[in-house]
Structure formats: structure tokens, C-alpha cells
Structure 1
Amino acid sequence: MINFNGSLFPEDQKIFTYTNRGLKYGDALFETLRCVNGTLFFWEDHYFRLMASMRILRMEIPMEFTLEFLEEEIKRTIAANQATDKAVRVRLTVFRNEGGLYAPETNEISYCIETSLLDSPFYTIDEADYEVELFKDYYVNKDMLSNLKTTNKILNVVASVYAKENGYANCLLVNTDKEVVETINGNLFLVTGNTIKTPPLSDGSLNGIIRKKLMEVIQATEEFQLLEESISPFELQKADELFITNSITGIQPISKYRKKTFANVIAKKLVGKLNAKARMGS
């Protein structure tokens, strides 16, 4: 079942038309999160990121769009899919209502909630081969719009096609200054010794929720030093580890980049702390 503006529809029900602004202009935002046994992982962070993003895009936030209202709508959708006691992937999409060309006729919005089952209730480390390559055909802009989780993801789509055609698991995206920013589907962390580095938002990286939470985890330990600094492509092969973070996978180690293979020792240490933080809801 799909939740469209509070009404539940079967998955095969046609609920959008060709006038949808998300389709025509990518005029939409989305949040993807985990829900396990009725608990939404890091829900407050997702909610406040969505509200901030809607303000940046001049979308009108409905009065009923409270933290509690949207949480209840998500849980109601999960229950309608008989998945309350399971691990679930949730996608909440918000889009400006139809009308207008580039200039919208209204800033009022609609929302859609969809769910699918996940294999594991917790974040786990996948130790299968995971090779990546730089994608240099197109670049991420160094601006605030790149920090937002919008449906304007054509660069990520083309990079995904490139990765599939060339047998890579993922690609590293670079910005207009040729700095490594993120991957197709998540933020990037680089480990050298006891130093863990991730690109700053000012480089154009997504303002990821797991990025934020993992940075909190790292800062709370005495074992590691966290740096929020630009990453040059030349640093990649000198690193001990590279890994990706996102709200569904948690932490995905990169096993190979060009001729360099990487360990996943630190990734394994951090995933347990991330699971603990998710269970605490903080």
C-alpha cells in the first residue's frame, strides 16, 4: 500500500498524472530511512532536514506537518503493509503541487510514503568485493542545492549507468574543483591511521543523516581524529580504508579502487557504535 496525502492506495494504483512537478521539473525532496519493529531510525534528524530543505526550496509547509503527524502516517503505511514487526525501508517524497512551468502556480505540496522490506534489522558490514572508480564525465556543484536530498539526481543516474557498464559497484563523484565529494548513493569517509576524513558540505556533498551520526560517533571516541576536509583524488590510493554511509546500508566498505585494495577494520568497529546509536534513537 502507498500513502498519498493520507489516503492509502494499492501499489498498482495510478495516483500521479503527467502534470506532476516532480516528474516534469524534479521539483521534489525525499527522505529514505529505516524502521525496525516500529522504531524509525534517526527520525528527528530526517524530519528537521526535510523541513529545512522545504524552506530552502520555498515550499509551503502544511500546518499539520508536525514530527508526530508524519511519524504516524509512516507507521500507518507500514501497518497497512503488515510490516510493523519487521525491518522496513521507508521513502517519504514531498513535491510541489502541479501547475505552472518553471515558475510554479502554487507552493503548496503533496506527499507520498512507500515502503519495502529489508533483509536485516541492523546495520551489517558487507565484506563482498566492492570496487569503485572516479566518475569524471559530469561534476557536482559546490552550492547549497547539492546538500539537499532532491529528486534532481540525473548525475547519479548517469554515474550508475557508467558503473554498471564498466563492472563497478559504485562511483566516486567529484565537484567542479575536481575534489572527491561523495558516491552515487552516499557520503564518503577516508581512513588513514587513526584519522578519519570526510568532505565538508561546502564541497557540495549531501547533508547525509548517517554522515552526521557517524561524525558524532567518531568525535565521541578518543581513538580517532575526525577531519572535515576536502579529499583529493590523489589521497584515495594512500588511504587504509574507504567507506560509504547512507541511511539504508549504514556503512559500506570499499574493497578496491584502481590498484589499491582496502581493509575494513575501522568500518567494522564503527558499525557496532552506529547500531547502538540507532537503538538509542539519538
Structure 2
Amino acid sequence: MINFNGKLQSSTSLFLNHENRGLRYGDALFETLRVVNSKVFFWEEHYLRLMASMRILRMEIPMAFTMEYLEKEILKTIEANALGNKAVRVRLSVYREPGGLYLPESRGVEYIVETKPLESPFYTLNAEEYGVELFKDHWVNSGLLSTLKTSSRLVNILAGIYAEENGYDNTLLLNEKKNVIEAINGNVFLVKGNTIKTPPVNDGCINGILRKQLTKIISKLEGYALEEASISPFELQKADELFITNVITGIRPVTRYRKKQFHTEVSRDLLGKLNLQVRLGG
């Protein structure tokens, strides 16, 4: 079952048409949520990011779009799929109402809630071999729009195809200044000594929810120094560790970049602290 504008429908039902603006123009946003035992992880942060993104895209925010309302609709959809006591991946998509060409006829929005079960209720560390490479065919322009989770993800799609065709598990995306900004599916953190570095949002990386949580955690730890600064591809060869973050997998260590092999000690340490924060309620 999916939730389309508050109404539960079969996932095989035909409820969208050719005028959908997300399909036509990528005029849509989405949030990917992790829900465990009907608790939405970092829900306030997701909600605030969605509201800020809708304002930036000049979408009209319905009066009903409160934190409480959207959370209720998310949990209703989870219950309809008999996943209330499970770990669940939720996609909340918001797109502008149909009509118009580049200039929309309406600023109003519609939404869809989709669910998919996850294997584990906890963030676990997968230390299996995981190799990455730079994706150089296209870059992400630094700027405000690149930080939003819009449905226009062509660079990510092409990077995923490139990774599959060339035997990599992921690729690292570059901006127009040739700095590393993120992976296909998450933010990037680089470890050198006791310094943990991640690209600043104004380099063009997604303003990730787990990125925000980890920067909070790291900034409070005495053993590490956090640095938000541009990352050159040349720094990858000198790093001790490299890992990718998102709210679904948590922390995914990279083990190999070209001939460089990475450790996973810091990833393990931070993952334990992240799970503790989740158990304590954020």
C-alpha cells in the first residue's frame, strides 16, 4: 500500500498521469526516512529540511503540512503494510500540482508516502570490501539547488551506471571546481590522523540529515577535530579512512580507492556513538 495525498492505495494502482510535474520537469522533492518500531529517526530535522526546501522552490506549503500531520500519514502507511514493529525505509515525495509548462499553473503540492522493510533496526558496520572511484563525466554545480533533495538526480544515475559498468561499489561526485563533494548516495567524510573532514554544503553536497548528526557528535568528542572544508581528489590517497553516510545505512566505510587501502577504526567508533544517540532519542 502507498499513501497518495492521505488516501491509501494499492502500490499497483494507476494514480499518476502524464502531466505529473515531477515526471515532466523534476519539479519535486523527497525525504528518505528510517523508521523503527514506528519511531521516525531525526523526524524534526527531516521536516525542517523539507519545509525549507519547499520554500526555496516556491512551493505553496499547505496549512495541514504540520509535523504531526505528516508523521501521522507516514505511520498510517507503515501500519497499512503491517510494518509497525519493523525497521522501515520510507520515501516521502512532494511535487507541484499538475499543470503548466516551465511556469506552473499552481504552486500547490501533492505527496506520496512509500514504504519498504529494512533488515536491521540498528545501524551496523559493513566492513566488506567496498571500492570507489571518481566520476568525471559530469559534475555537480555548487550552489543552493544542489543541496536540496530534488527528484532531478541525473548525475547520480549516470554515476551509478558508471560504477556498475566498471566494477566499483560507488563513485565520488565532483563539483565544477573538481573538489570531491559526495558519493552517489550519501555524504563523504575523510579521516587523516585525528582530523575528520567533510565538504561544506556550499560546495554543492546534499545537506544530509546524518551528516548533521555526525558533525554534532564529532564536535563534542575530545579525541577528534572536525573540519568542514573542500576536499581535493589528491587528499584521498593520503587519508587514513573514508566513509559515506546516509540515514538508511548509517556509516559505510570505504575500503579501497585505486591502490589505496583504508582503515575502519574511526568508522566503528562513530557508529557506536551514533547508535547510542539514536537509542537516547537524538
TM-score by length of 2: 0.99
Give 1:15 shift: 1.0
Give the distance between the partners of 1:33 and 1:251, measured in 2 at CA. 15
Task: Output the TM-score relative to the length of structure 1.
Answer: 0.99
Is the aligned partner of 1:240 residue 2:240? yes
Equivalence for 2:196: 196
Displacement of 1:102 in angstroms is 0.7
| Structure 1 residue 272, shift from structure 2 partner | 1.1
Contact 1:125 1:252 in 2 (8 A): yes
1:60-209 correspondence to structure 2 within 5 Å: 60-209=60-209
* Separation in 2, partners of 1:29, 1:153: 11
TM-aligned CA deviation for residue 276 of structure 1: 1.6
Secondary structure (helix, strand or coil) at the match of 2:123 reads coil
Q: Match of 1:123, SS?
A: coil
Which residue type is aligned with residue 175 of structure 1?
N
Q: What is the correspondence of 1:22-41 to structure 2 with a 5 Å cutoff? A: 22-41=22-41
- The residue type paired with residue 45 of structure 1 is E
What count of residue pairs does the alignment treat as equivalent? 282
Aligned to 1:220: 220
**1:251-266 alignment, distance < 5 Å:** 251-266=251-266
Partners of 1:280 and 1:177 in 2: CA distance: 40
Q: Structure 1 segments of 4 or more deviating over 4 A? A: none
Q: What CA distance in whole angstroms lies between the structure 2 residues aligned with 1:51 and 1:186?
A: 21
Distance in 2 of aligned mates of 1:87 and 1:105: 39
Q: Name the SS of the counterpart of 1:51 in structure 2.
A: helix
Distance 2:279 2:59 in 1: 32
Contact 1:174–1:182 (CA under 8 A) maintained in structure 2? yes
Structure 2 counterparts to residues 38-57 of structure 1, below 5 A: 38-57=38-57
Corresponding position: 1:3 with 2:19: no
1:225 CA displacement: 0.2
| Contact in 2 for aligned 1:41/1:279 (Cα 8 Å) | no
Distance 1:16 1:84 in 2: 27
Q: In 1, distance between residues paired with 2:171 and 2:106?
A: 37
CA-based RMSD of the aligned residues comes to: 0.6
Task: Tell me, yes or no, if the aligned pair for 1:147 and 1:205 is still in contact at 8 Å.
Answer: yes
CA distance in 1, matches of 2:197, 2:154: 27
Q: Secondary structure at the match of 1:278?
A: helix
Q: How far apart are 1:280 and its partner, in Å?
A: 2.6
Distance in 2, Cα, partners of 1:32 & 1:42: 11
User: Match of 1:277?
Assistant: 277
* Whole-angstrom CA distance in 1 between matches of 2:146 and 2:212: 16
SS in 1 for 2:158: helix
Could you tell me whether the CA contact under 8 Å between 1:251 and 1:271 is conserved in 2? Answer: yes
Deviations 1:186-236 (A, max 9, x none): 000000011000000110010000000000010011010000000000000
SS of residue paired to 2:244 = strand
Provide Cα deviations, 1:140-167, integer angstroms capped at 9, x if missing partner: 1010000000001000000000000001
Q: CA deviation at 1:279?
A: 2.3
1:281 is displaced (CA, Å) by 2.8
Mapped to 2, the partners of 1:76 and 1:280 lie a distance apart of 24
Q: Distance in 2 between matches of 1:237 and 1:124?
A: 26
